[in-house]
Amino acid sequence: MKQVAVEEAVGMVLCHDITRIVPGEFKGRAFRKGQHIRPEDIPLLKDLGKEHLYVFELTEGWVHEDDAARRIARAAAGPGIALTNPAEGRVDLVASEPGLLKVDVAALSRINAVEEIVFSTLHTNQPVSAGRPVAGTRIIPLVTREANIATVEGICRGVPPVVSVRPYRPLSVGIVTTGSEVFSGRIEDRFGPVLKAKFSELGSKVIAQVLVSDDIQKTVAAIRGFLNQGAGLVAVTGGMSVDPDDQTPAAIRAAGCTVVTYGAPAFPGAMFMLAYINDVPVLGLPGCVMYYRASIFDLVVPRILAGEVLTRADIVAMGHGGFCSGCLDCRYPFCAFGKGD
């Protein structure tokens, strides 16, 4: 830090805030600590009574906070991410389209282990809307060594994008609703409207809903019927418990599906089944999907629509964070549900 005449400060970095006061009109910061001094700033600085300033003089091998944040953000950003301009030394990463947020958590930890660097993100694997800030980065001091930024850039080159948004694939969805009570008309189906709304929000369309009784062969025929129509996903609702009358898990198996899991470490949603047949996901959805705003549906389906083929290990990992708090005012995904390591 050194003191220089105002006229000599162009291109240097201000070490302190400068306040401007207009009696009865304005009092606030006119120049912020860390700001680059530009030629057009000199007249205003003189109007504020400044003849000398305390500044950092950037020498070779050092990087200003704004430039550092830009470089870190550019290196870490992948598809589906836009960057803000620096504000008080920080650059935010913003979703440029709706989709699934993906964060390379291991690489993120390596970045934050670099001296003087901070990089913060939302949890990975959550749905985000276009325009939503998902991460931010800056350095702690006003300037940092070039070597620190180069280290971060090297980390980012060696991995997939540290932060990205995967767009949803629009799929044609078939719904098979089981249950003799619904099939006979004794009670009104409530699954269909809920699923149609949820899939629509994620950019997919329900092509049809078929009601069947508690009969394995009829359920199998309905599943295969949607596959023959070219459905990209089949959701089978009802009959997912261990009650002897609940035949949906057996029907999904009988349809020729390869079962990834029956049961998920998530509440609500434990009685969930994930299976695939000819690369088409077939979901056995428990009744909680009807009643809760956030359930196993919201942890699994966005990832499937973003192109992920989920394994049993993916489902097992949902146990950490898979316990919904049951808040009276549900704010999912702005909560901890599903947000494990």
Report yes or no on 341 lying in a domain. no
Residue 246 pLDDT grade (very low, low, confident, very high; cuts 50, 70, 90): low
Predicted confidence at residue 88, as pLDDT, reads 81
Alpha-carbon Rg of the chain, whole angstroms?
27
Inform me whether the pLDDT recorded for 25 exceeds 80: no
Greatest CA separation for the chain = 88
Q: Tell me, yes or no, whether 109 and 47 share the same domain.
A: no
User: Among the listed ranges 52-61, 130-139, 228-237, which one has the minimum average pLDDT value?
Assistant: 52-61
CA distance 10 to 125: 45
Q: Tell me, yes or no, whether 8 and 139 share the same domain.
A: no
Q: Count of residues for the chain?
A: 341
Report yes or no on 338 lying in a domain. no
Q: Tell me, yes or no, whether 28 and 97 share the same domain.
A: no
Q: Tell me, yes or no, whether 107 and 223 share the same domain.
A: no
pLDDT tens per residue across span 177-207: 998 888 888 889 999 999 999 999 999 999 9
CA distance 313 to 197: 29
Predicted confidence at residue 244, as pLDDT, reads 54
Nearest C-alpha neighbor of 219 from the set 322, 227, 325, 145: 227
Report yes or no on 279 lying in a domain. yes
Distances (CA, A) of 106 to 161, 249, 317, 335: 12, 36, 16, 22
**Helix pair angle (296-305, 191-201), 10° resolution:** 40
Mean pLDDT, to the nearest integer, of 71-84? 98
User: Among the listed ranges 50-54, 135-139, 257-261, which one has the minimum average pLDDT value?
Assistant: 50-54
Q: Tell me, yes or no, whether 19 and 127 share the same domain.
A: no
Residue 32 pLDDT grade (very low, low, confident, very high; cuts 50, 70, 90): confident
Q: Tell me, yes or no, whether 242 and 286 share the same domain.
A: yes
pLDDT tens per residue across span 142-161: 889 999 999 999 999 988 99
Nearest C-alpha neighbor of 235 from the set 194, 188, 264, 183: 194
Inform me whether the pLDDT recorded for 77 exceeds 90: yes
Q: Tell me, yes or no, whether 207 and 270 share the same domain.
A: yes
Q: What are the backbone dihedrals phi and psi of residue 172, each rounded to the nearest 5 degrees, phi first?
A: -90, 125
Inform me whether the pLDDT recorded for 1 exceeds 90: no
Complete DSSP assignment for 40-72: GGHHHHHHTT-SEEEEE---TTEEEHHHHHHHH
Mean pLDDT, to the nearest integer, of 312-339? 94
pTM above 0.95, yes or no: no
Report yes or no on 215 lying in a domain. yes
Q: What are the backbone dihedrals phi and psi of residue 211, each rounded to the nearest 5 degrees, phi first?
A: -95, 135
Quote the number of domains for the chain. Answer: 3
Report yes or no on 331 lying in a domain. no
pLDDT tens per residue across span 92-110: 999 999 999 999 999 999 9
CA distance 210 to 218: 10
Predicted confidence at residue 118, as pLDDT, reads 98
Predicted confidence at residue 239, as pLDDT, reads 82
Mean pLDDT, to the nearest integer, of 79-88? 94
Nearest C-alpha neighbor of 155 from the set 32, 72, 222: 72
Q: What are the backbone dihedrals phi and psi of residue 299, each rounded to the nearest 5 degrees, phi first?
A: -85, -25
- Range(s) of the domain holding residue 79: 62-166
Q: What CATH number is given to the structural domain containing 267?
A: 3.40.980.10
For residue 154, the one-letter residue type is G
